[in-house]
Amino acid sequence: MSTVLFEVVTPERTVLSEQVTMVFVHTGGGELGILPRHAPLAATVKPGIVRVRLPEGEDYVHVTGGFLEVLPERVTLLANAAEVAHEIDVERAQRAKERAEKRLAQRTDDVDVRRAEAALQRALRRLEAVELSGRAGQILRQRSPQR
């Protein structure tokens, strides 16, 4: 089965470095499905969930947005922050969700609504990535038990 190296890198660490059969990324121009030997391209990445297809099945990575470089042999996503689904702390995401919801419900003068909405979306997407990954079988956790 043909594969391509997919790397997700943040200023802090390499979040993922795996040979994948396909990867789906939400870019500024819409959702992009990238196969091995894809033509070179560069794109902005929207905050969202990246779907990773491996020989054993699918898994998910949450990214807060960034930049994508596609080369025939390598796909690199530079993200502000990113987590493979199995790394996501569900209780922390739940707390972030509740905090943001509370702020949005209060809407007092000192509440930055856009910031609270962005925090809420991040928390919801993290929870969604965990749920999707759970259903898919947490392939990346099984592949990389040391993580």
Residues that bind ligand ATP (CB under 6 A): 12, 64, 81, 83, 87-89, 92-93, 96, 119, 122, 126
User: What CA–CA distance (Å, rounded) separates 34 from 60?
Assistant: 15
Which residue number, 52 or 88, has a Cβ lying nearer to ligand ATP? 88
The CA distance from 128 to 101, in Å, is 17
How far, in whole angstroms, is CA 9 from its chain's centroid?
11
Shortest Å distance, C-beta 121 to ligand ATP:
9
Nearer to ligand ATP, 68 or 123 (CB): 123
Nearest distance, CB of residue 101 and ligand ATP, angstroms: 13
Closest CA to 61 of 145, 141, 142: 141
Least distance from ligand ATP to the Cβ atom of residue 22, Å: 24
In the complex with ligand ATP, the residue whose CB is nearer, 51 or 126, is: 126
